[in-house]
Amino acid sequence: MAAFGILSYEHRPLKRPRLGPPDVYPQDPKQKEDELTALNVKQGFNNQPAVSGDEHGSAKNVNFNPSKISSNFSSIIAEKLRCNTFPDTGKRKPQVNQKDNFWLVTARSQSSITNWFMDLAGTKPLTHLAKKVPIFSKKEEVFGYLAKYVVPVMRAAWLLKMTCAYHAAITETKVKKRHVIDPCIEWTQIITKYLWEQLQKIAEFYRLTSSSGCGSPTASITSEVDQAVKQWEYNEKLSLFMFQDGMLDRHEFLTWVLECFEKIRPGEDELLKLLLPLLLQYSAEFVQSAYLSRRLAYFCARRLALLLNDGTVGTGAGGHTAGNALPATPTSQTPTGNQPQTPFTDFYICHQHRPVVYGLSCMLQSIILCCPSALVWHYSLTDSRNKTGSPLDLLPIAPSNLPMPGGNDTFTQQVRAKLREIEQQIKERGQAVEVRWSFDKCQETTAGFTIGRILHTLEVLDSHTFEKLDFNNSLDSLYNRIFGLGQSKDGHECIQHRY
């Protein structure tokens, strides 16, 4: 029956109460009442208050010792500082046993390496594999073994983390510590370099076997190229997992992906078709950066313009006017099951160019929908990559008329309507940038002249280099560029003030 007095697990408190039972003064483990001194044994415990005499008064007539107050106050400050200071956990870190848990890979240990990677690719628990982890002299060698044995990407990422832990332990044990490199940046550089080497082998093969027709048979793939393709496909999946797991530097990796596309030569459609899935995988990440989205939009627009530059449609790479950055959008078409008639109609039947057209169009339309600020016309003073103008200046047709998969159903029409709406916004923003956000384009009023002078001053200050001083880059030249503008809006000379 005593069991009924015990609370069930549902009603039992999560934490044990520290004050003890109710109506009982709480007890401390080392309280003075428990000290069995000779005086306490004879007379019992006698509570001595800090201020004797008047227990409930103001104690204004009591004489305190200033030195004792100062020492007590100093001890309080010291205790407060100790409590607010994070403990040094450097010595409490679990020490990585470099000799027992890791072993360096040599030419004699190939059989052991094969067995270990086969276990890693299998279902053997990682706790057993962690007892002996192989370490390569060159970190990039591990990617070749991971692709060779087709290790699952999650278990492959575990091996990379263990390798990183080993090198971190080596760095801590060295007497003369060097500057610690961020492992995310380091692994980003390693895997991008390895992927670039494999991509170069594939690109060289495509360049040697390139042909003029769309459907011409390709040459037989050699064993070296086939191995490079397998290495590329596996490590590309591994890099995606590492990117999502936070093991890579996001901006550095996305910049490398973009540079890979920018280095593809015109006419290398086979190589572009191979890399387009890589680009579409990171489309949601690219649109989060206006800088990368603008560079990517330039690439897509150039390639689409090259495909159309066959004499039937002229490119828009010539002169630019912000108001005509986008061609006039046609009226909405009636829903049909086929693709609307566009300049890309001839590419729908080509198995080589159709994925390229769809991929580039999808990426450019994604940038318009998610990052329209990257497509606004603007003038660049310093960055050579972001040239003056807009990426849409290179397109002979509006992006809303680019091909989209799924025919011309209702959903596709809704997407095209949204694209046309954003295109109009891009036009208006581009016109505002061209006239420098002035309400009167020709600056026919004093307000427009004032806005132009202010924006000109900001432009001069941005382009001036304050870190160096020479004949063409001095405070006098800066002064003349700002104030030496001739006459004002009212026909009077500009009054120059020196500050």
pLDDT digit of tens for each residue in the chain (499 aa)? 444 444 455 566 666 666 677 777 777 788 888 888 898 888 888 877 666 666 666 767 777 788 988 999 999 999 988 888 876 655 555 555 555 678 888 877 788 888 999 999 998 998 888 888 888 888 899 999 999 999 999 999 999 999 888 888 777 766 565 666 788 999 999 999 999 999 999 888 888 876 544 444 445 678 888 899 999 999 999 999 999 999 999 999 999 999 999 998 887 888 888 899 999 999 999 999 999 999 999 999 999 988 887 534 333 333 333 333 444 444 334 344 455 556 666 777 777 788 888 899 999 999 999 999 989 887 765 555 556 788 898 888 888 888 888 777 888 889 999 999 999 999 888 888 877 666 555 555 666 677 778 888 888 888 887 777 777 778 888 888 888 754 444 444 443 433 3
pLDDT of residue 326: 46
Kind plus residue range of the DSSP H or E element containing 281 = helix 269-281
**CB-based contacts of 203: which residues, under 8 Å, 6+ apart?**
268, 271
Helices (H), 309-445: 354-370, 410-434
- CA distance readout (Å), 141 to 146, 190, 200, 231, 498: 9, 10, 17, 12, 64
pLDDT of 330 = 40
Dihedral of alpha carbons 431, 434, 437, 438, sign = negative
Give the H/E segment covering residue 103: strand 102-104
- Alpha carbon 362 to its chain's center: 21
Q: What is the pLDDT of residue 113?
A: 87
Which residues does residue 389 pair with via DSSP β-bridges, in sequence order?
A: 378
H-helix or E-strand spanning residue 104: strand 102-104
Pairing of strands 133-135, 102-104: parallel
Helix (H, G, I), strand (E, B), or coil: what is residue 237?
helix
Residues contacting residue 24 through CB under 8 Å, at least 6 positions apart: none
Rounded Cα distance, 366 and 280, in Å: 10
HSE-up (13 A, CA, CB side) for residue 265: 8
- pLDDT of 342 reads 61
Angle between helices 290-308 and 354-370 (to 10 degrees): 140
Q: Please name which of 315, 207, 336 lies closest in space to residue 269, comparing C-alpha atoms.
A: 207
Strands of 188-344, DSSP E: none
Measure Cα distances from 427 to 69, 243, 322, 354, 368 in Å: 74, 35, 7, 29, 12
- CA–CA distance, 473 with 224 (Å, rounded to integer): 55
Q: How far apart are CA 350 and CA 348, in angstroms?
A: 6
Q: How far apart are CA 266 and CA 203, in angstroms?
A: 13
CA torsion sign, 323 to 325 to 327 to 332? negative
pLDDT of residue 4: 44
Considering just the CA atoms, what is the radius of gyration of the chain in Å?
36
Q: Is 44 left (phi over 0), alpha (psi -120 to 50) or beta?
A: left
Nearest to 193 by CA among 242, 156, 139, 117: 139
CA distance 108 to 111: 8
Which tokens in the block code for residue 38? 């000779």
pLDDT attached to residue 328: 42
Distance CA 144, CA 164 (A): 17
**For residues 416 and 405, what is the distance between their CA atoms, to the nearest angstrom?**
12
Q: What is the pLDDT, as a whole number, of residue 196? A: 94
Is the CB of residue 408 less than 8 Å from the CB of residue 339?
yes
Q: How far apart are CA 454 and CA 37, in angstroms?
A: 85
Q: What angle do CA 345, 346, 348 make, to 5 degrees?
A: 70
Residue 116: DSSP 8-state: H
The encoded tokens of residue 198 equal 């494999």
* Predicted pLDDT of residue 3: 46
Rounded Cα–Cα distance for residues 360 and 342 (Å): 15
| pLDDT computed for residue 213 by the predictor | 46
Q: Is 28 exposed, middle or buried (0-12, 13-18, 19+ CB in 10 A)?
A: exposed
Secondary structure element (H or E) that encloses residue 293, with its range: helix 290-308
3-state secondary structure 127-187: HHHCCCEEECCCCCHHHHHHHHCCCCHHHHHHHHHHHHHHHHHHHHHCCCCCCCCCHHHHH
